Structure 1
Amino acid sequence: MDGVKIKLDCEEWTSYSNIKYKSGKIVCPECKNHEIDIKFCLDMLVNKEIIKRKLVELSFDDMIEANYSEEIDDQFDGIINKIDLECENVFKEINDYRDSLLKEFKEIRTEMINQMEKLNLKIVSKDNFEAEINKEKKIQKKILIEKKYETMIADFI
């Protein structure tokens, strides 16, 4: 509004900023030869129209700025939502992959435990092996026993 030109009662024009915070009668800011009545100047039809037009223009500017600002906010909100959705999808994929790895790991662990139990059932223990060897007197039979245990261990591994 400060740049708006206002007509004075002496037919001169002055910037609205020269009179906007003043009231009553003041020395004319342009010719300085007489006093002007601020209220009378602002109530002149030409000045009312100029001020009203400027207020409407400023309202349009505010409305356009608000629309741009709102449109930009909407665009950025949409992009942020897309980013959030993509992140959720990636997190889900990572969690699904993690779950499948853990499931596979548990299955391998269970299988290894089962194999160890089978081996223990077949071989029972090192003590059984030694007892069987010590019980046998003949070397040839000891070699056969050792080969048997060696084969059982190799089959397990």
Structure 2
Amino acid sequence: MDDIKIVLPCGFYCKYEYFRNNKEKFECPICKTHYINTKECLNMTRNRLVLSQSDVENAKKDLDDCTTTLKYYEDDLEHFIEEESNILKNQIDLRREELKIMVIKKIDDYYEGQLKKIEQEKKKKFDKFISRIGRIKLLEKDIYGFNISDKNDIQTQIDMNIKLFRTIDNATILAENLKVTFSKSIYGLREDSKNFDVSTLFGELYLREETKRIFCICSNFDDKQANFVFKVNDISKYKGQEEFKIVSNPCIFRNFEWFIIIQMEKNDIAVILQCIRDQKNDDSSILTQSEIRFFDYKMNVIDDFTIKSKNDFSIYPECVLLRYDKVENMINDIGFYDKKDDSFTLNILIKVDPQQIMAIDSEK
């Protein structure tokens, strides 16, 4: 992308890398007779077009990489699912032999129940893959059948490229999530203390995947806000623990790494938004407004319930969004807890625009 030719206000061209390596305003690297405002230059119609076209091409490459890997799993789908199931069966077999002397009858009964559960999960996983790969293929068909004619005016081409880019991004998210399902087993056999409660003694099948991919929406033209979704599954297993720390996968936004952390220390549970900046970055402010949002049944944001906070991450790299004194209170918080899959989910909108945030504060 750094090699893309950007037209300058003076009519000359330069590579996009100049805009990545410079601040908001810099001297023209070609004629050296004027200064260039980065945002104004990149928002010139022709530049918006080439950048949107580049986004589409890069997104296509990412999608191709994901679907190529998925084809590898698809060619021998039953083998990969069977292999994962056999690992679990072997673990259960070994545990059964270790505990047979204590509770032979109960252990054997529970063993059969676990095998049945594994078989059910095999079918679910198989059906899930077939369903999702079908959706991905339909999206691929739409993407590669989407024609943007040069006869359209430039603004129409830009809008169509942006629409195509979003479709590709959705397909890539589906493909990446499905790829993770096979690149790493998400189930495990939990070990626990040796007591006479068979389910606790033997071990339960549980979802080992603690976080979902953080979903982030941003673009080259509006890099002032992004939406994060962070989900922790099987949250009840943290009951009774005195200390724990759950860290989300990183999300890259405005060239910074963002994390959501749930951490318990000394009967204090903090939900934290963290920003890690590269030491090479300048010292400009990262004044950010974060909003924990709630949705109605139509998925519209309920403004009255929005929890807002503000922080300059260039000074304080962490911002506490919520606090609890125990896991039970997290589970009782119906705004975030889903009893169906024992999950805790946060929907967070972050806005990084120091001038706008300061203007809003001054109006207050």
Question: Could you say which TM-score interval applies, normalised by the shorter chain?
Answer: 0.3 to 0.5
Determine which structure has the larger strand proportion and give its number.
2
Structure 1 or 2, whichever has the larger Rg, is: 1
Alignment TM-score, normalising by the size of structure 2 = 0.21
Question: Which structure's residues are more often helix, by fraction?
Answer: 1
